[in-house]
DNA sequence: TGAAATGTTGGGGCG
DNA sequence: ACGCCCCAACATTTC
């Protein structure tokens, strides 16, 4: 009679769960446990905590209908695991590997103290398996992506178990119920529904539509990936099949573009695994002394969506209200904070990490360092987004702005992207006073652009 | 997965 | 008819 503990962390799913599957294959009895770590549930990311609580509750439901029970404990994970081993007589603990410095330190401690085995699954290919021939990690996306695509897939997705072994009577804490998140129900099956819907049509226009902030052109699966309600392997094997079956050139290219986005995620897991220092400083050594501005009022205006640039404000308000932001908008707001306000990307990184449902240290850091031009394979520092042009291009009718900045909703299309240029008679015609009902720009873009070029140049030559 | 500055071209107005 | 200027429109370079 063998007993295994399945330690769930950010793999809150039944389908294609390598850790759960290994536990089921190894043992007659599998004790599923989620340990609430006060160090992680510290109120620093309330939206993600809500999603997590919902996801745990939903997984617990699913386990119950299959004859098992998700045990919830709270405390220092290693202590709790040891206690649970004593209570159940389990011989082994199995968990999915994680690669953040925090997770690695915790898991190394666990491995030193307990019989624990880790599986893959958080990425399709474990970071250590994507290396250059000489063994060093890739730091440029394209060669990484080519190598990644040439790797054989390690098996097909594992279907969800239809039933689970019953477990003995054990204590389990009650997690206070969390309000549901309307745009992102934290339910495994819903992720599949969303995937099906996306693959039914939008994916074939993804190449163009993904940039349009006024359109639902993206899969919006990121929170589900973040907490492992769906596995990247499921996404990859699904998209491979669609690519194979698609003849139309543009449609096929759209699918490949989406696939590459998933590979960007793998790339940043890789970068963080090999270069954990990126969480503390710029990847690029020659850009570590940019004279950032320390301007709390500008940072607050950015955080609260009150910069006077409609597309920036719309995006920040979308983030604050829903916990999600369109990817194009992430680039625009990140460019604005770092290049227009000349505020350290780390301030933006931590705000996003606080607010995003999909906030993950690897992807979030990768994205910010990309935008700031300080990262691996990043945008060159002189690539500065013009928030007005970006808005005109990717929200042509201003619908995205109108949705999230209601005080501008009445403004006609030709002024919606740069409302400070609205003539007085038009302002009074629509009953909007610039500078009162909506802020004037907190910085002039042309001026800010030159200031930033100067600042980056001075850092480079240090 | 930019944008601004600068350079080039070619058609049309005009003396 | 011709040269000249103007200036979109597009291309290239630069940051």
Which residue stretches of A323-386 are H helix? 327-335, 345-355, 361-372
A66 CA vs B3 C1’ separation (Å): 57
Whether residue A337 contacts residue A74, with contact meaning beta carbons closer than 8 Å, is answered with no
Rounded distance between C-alpha atoms, residue A451 and residue A198, angstroms: 42
Percent helix, strand, coil in chain A, to 5, is 55, 5, 40
In a domain, A164, yes or no: no
Task: Identify whether A54 is a catalytic site residue.
Answer: no
Is A324 a known active-site residue? no
- For chain A residues 429-448, those near strand B by a CB cutoff of 7 A are 445-446
Tell me, yes or no, whether A167 lies in a domain: no
Is residue A30 within 8 A of residue A4, CB to CB? The reply is yes
Residues A57 and A70: their CA atoms lie apart, in Å, by 9
Give me the tens of pLDDT residue by residue for chain A, a chain 462 residues long: 899 999 999 999 999 999 999 999 999 999 999 999 999 999 999 999 999 999 999 999 999 999 999 999 999 999 999 999 999 999 999 999 999 999 999 999 999 999 999 999 999 999 999 999 999 999 999 999 999 999 999 899 999 999 999 999 999 999 988 999 999 999 999 999 999 999 999 999 999 999 999 999 999 999 999 999 999 999 999 999 999 999 999 999 999 999 999 999 999 999 999 999 999 999 999 999 999 999 999 999 999 999 999 999 999 999 999 999 999 999 999 999 999 999 999 999 999 999 999 999 999 999 999 999 999 999 899 999 999 999 999 999 999 999 999 999 999 999 999 999 999 999 999 999 999 999 999 999 999 999 999 999 999 887
Q: Is A279 inside a domain boundary? A: no
Q: If phi over 0 gives left and psi between -120 and 50 gives alpha, with beta otherwise, what is residue A376?
A: beta
Of A252, A274, A296, the last residue of a domain is A274
Asked if strand B comes closer than 7 Å to A289 Cβ, the answer is no
Residue A162 φ/ψ region, left for φ over 0, alpha for ψ in the -120 to 50 degree band, beta for the rest? alpha
Q: Is the CB of A383 under 7 A from strand B?
A: yes
- CA–CA dist A345, A451 (Å, integer): 16
Whether the CB of A386 is less than 7 Å away from nucleic strand B comes out as: yes
Our CA dihedral for A101, A106, A108, A110, rounded to 10 degrees, sits at -170
Does residue A228 share a domain with residue A91? no
A383 nearest nucleotide via C1' and CA? B2
Q: Residue A7 catalytic?
A: no
Same domain membership, residue A215 and residue A135? yes
Q: Answer yes or no: is A32 within a domain.
A: yes
How many Å apart are A382 CA and C13 C1'? 14
Active-site residue, from A6, A302, A324, A345: A345
Q: What is the pLDDT of residue A118?
A: 98
| CB proximity A327–strand B (7 Å threshold) | yes
Whether residue A160 lies inside any domain: the answer is: no
Q: Specify the pLDDT at position A120.
A: 98
For residue A340, the 8-state DSSP code is I
Give me the CA A260–C1' B5 separation in Å, rounded. 34
So what's the pLDDT on residue A176?
87
Query: Would you say the C-beta of A293 is within 7 Å of strand C?
Result: no
Residues counted in chain A: 462
What is the torsional sign of CA A390, A395, A398, A404? negative
Catalytic site residue from A264, A386, A407, A420: A264
Residues 8-67 of A with CB under 7 A from strand B: none
Q: Does residue A218 lie within 7 Å of nucleic acid chain B, judged by its CB? A: no
Bridging pattern class, strands A92-96 and A3-8: parallel
The pairing of strands A3-8 and A116-119 is: unpaired
Do A135 and A255 reside in the same domain of the chain? Answer: yes
Please tell me whether the overall predicted TM-score, pTM, comes out greater than 0.95 for this model.
yes
As a rounded value in angstroms, the CA-to-C1' distance for A55 and B14 is: 76
A256 touches strand B (CB under 7 A): no
Residue with the two structure tokens 């691996």: A376
> A304 and A246: one domain?
no
Nucleotides of C under 7 A from a protein CB: 15
* In a shared domain, residues A365 and A432: yes
Residues 352-371 of A with CB under 7 A from strand C: none
Burial of A327 (0-12, 13-18, 19+ CB in 10 A): middle
A131/A138 Cα distance (integer angstroms)? 6
Residues A244 and A113 in one domain: no
Strand order in the sheet with A3-8: A71-74, A29-36, A3-8, A92-96, A116-119
Residue A328: nearest nucleotide (C-alpha to C1'): B1
Domain harbouring A52, CATH code = 3.40.50.620
Q: Which residues contact A353 (CB under 8 A, 6 or more apart)?
A: A44, A45, A359, A361, A364
* A266 and A328 part of one domain: no
Strand B within 7 Å of which CB atoms in A 103-142? 141
Neighbours of A175 (CB within 10 A): 17
A458 CB below 7 A from strand C atoms:
no
Shared domain for A290 and A371, answered yes or no, is yes
Domains contained in chain A, number = 3
Q: At A147, which CATH number?
A: 1.25.40.80
Residue A260 to residue A252: CA distance in whole angstroms: 12
Which of A274, A304, A321 terminates a domain? The answer is A274
Q: Is A345 a catalytic residue?
A: yes
A201 and A111 within one domain: no
Does the CB of A151 fall within 7 Å of any strand B atom?
no
> What pLDDT is attached to residue A239?
98
From the CA of A411 to the C1' of C6: give the distance in Å.
36
The CATH number linked to A324 is 1.10.579.10
Contact of A231 with A15, CB cutoff 8 Å: yes
- Are A401 and A311 a contacting pair, CB within 8 Å? yes
Same domain, A117 and A127: no
Is A264 in the active site? yes
Judge if A254 and A336 occupy the same domain: no
Owning domain of residue A112: 3-121
Domain's final residue, options A274, A294, A315: A274
Tell me if A280 is assigned to some domain.
no
Residue A163 covered by a domain = no
**How many angstroms separate the CA atoms of A90 and A343, rounded?**
51
Check A49, A87, A117, A261 and give the catalytic one: A261
CB of residue A158 closer than 7 A to nucleic acid strand B?
Answer: no
Among A12, A80, A445, A444, CA closest to A228: A12
- Under 8 Å CB-to-CB from A87, ≥6 apart: which residues? A170
Confirm whether A420 is a catalytic residue: no
In a domain, A330, yes or no: yes
Do A313 and A263 lie in one domain? The reply is no
Handedness of CA A60, A362, A278, A337 (dihedral sign): negative
């Amino acid at each position: 009679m063998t007993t295994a503990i399945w330690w769930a962390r950010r793999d809150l799913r039944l389908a294609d769960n390598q850790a759960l599957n290994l536990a089921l294959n190894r043992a007659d009895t599998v004790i599923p446990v989620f340990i609430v770590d006060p160090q992680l549930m510290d109120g620093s990311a309330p939206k993600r905590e809500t999603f997590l609580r919902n996801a745990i509750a939903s997984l617990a439901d699913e386990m119950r209908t299959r004859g098992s029970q998700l045990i919830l404990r709270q405390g220092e994970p290693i202590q709790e695991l040891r206690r649970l081993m004593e209570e159940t007589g389990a011989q082994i603990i199995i968990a999915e590997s994680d690669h953040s410095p925090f997770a690695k330190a915790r898991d190394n401690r666990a491995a030193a103290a307990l019989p624990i085995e880790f599986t893959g699954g958080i990425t399709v290919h474990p970071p250590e398996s994507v290396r250059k021939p000489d063994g060093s990690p890739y730091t440029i996306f394209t060669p990484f992506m080519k190598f990644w695509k040439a790797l054989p897939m390690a098996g097909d997705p594992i279907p969800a178990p239809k039933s689970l072994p019953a477990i003995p009577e054990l204590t389990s804490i009650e997690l206070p119920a969390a309000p549901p998140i309307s745009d992102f129900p934290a339910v495994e099956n819903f992720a599949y529904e969303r995937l099906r819907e996306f693959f039914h049509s939008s994916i074939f226009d993804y190449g163009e539509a993904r940039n349009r902030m006024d359109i639902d052109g993206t899969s919006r699966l990121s929170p589900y990936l973040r907490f492992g309600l769906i596995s990247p392997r499921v996404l990859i094997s699904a998209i491979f099949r669609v690519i194979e079956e698609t003849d139309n050139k543009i449609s096929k290219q759209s699918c490949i573009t989406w696939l590459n986005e998933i590979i960007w995620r793998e790339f940043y897991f890789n970068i963080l695994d090999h270069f954990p220092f990126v969480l503390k400083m710029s990847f690029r050594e020659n850009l570590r002394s940019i004279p950032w501005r320390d301007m709390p009022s500008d940072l607050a205006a950015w955080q609260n969506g009150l910069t006077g640039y409609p597309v920036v404000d719309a995006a920040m308000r979308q983030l604050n209200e829903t916990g999600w932001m369109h990817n194009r908008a992430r680039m625009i707001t990140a460019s604005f904070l770092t290049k227009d306000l000349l505020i350290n990307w780390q301030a933006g990184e931590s705000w996003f990490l606080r607010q995003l449902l999909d906030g993950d240290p690897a992807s979030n850091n990768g994205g910010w360092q990309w935008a700031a031009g300080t990262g691996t394979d990043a945008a060159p520092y002189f690539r500065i987004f013009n928030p007005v042009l970006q808005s005109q291009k990717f929200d042509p009718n201003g619908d995205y702005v109108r949705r999230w900045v209601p005080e501008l909703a009445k403004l006609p299309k030709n002024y919606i992207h740069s409302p400070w240029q609205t003539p007085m008679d038009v302002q009074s015609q629509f009953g909007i006073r610039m500078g009162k009902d909506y802020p004037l720009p907190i910085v002039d873009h042309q001026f800010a652009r030159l200031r930033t070029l100067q600042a980056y140049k001075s850092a480079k030559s240090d």
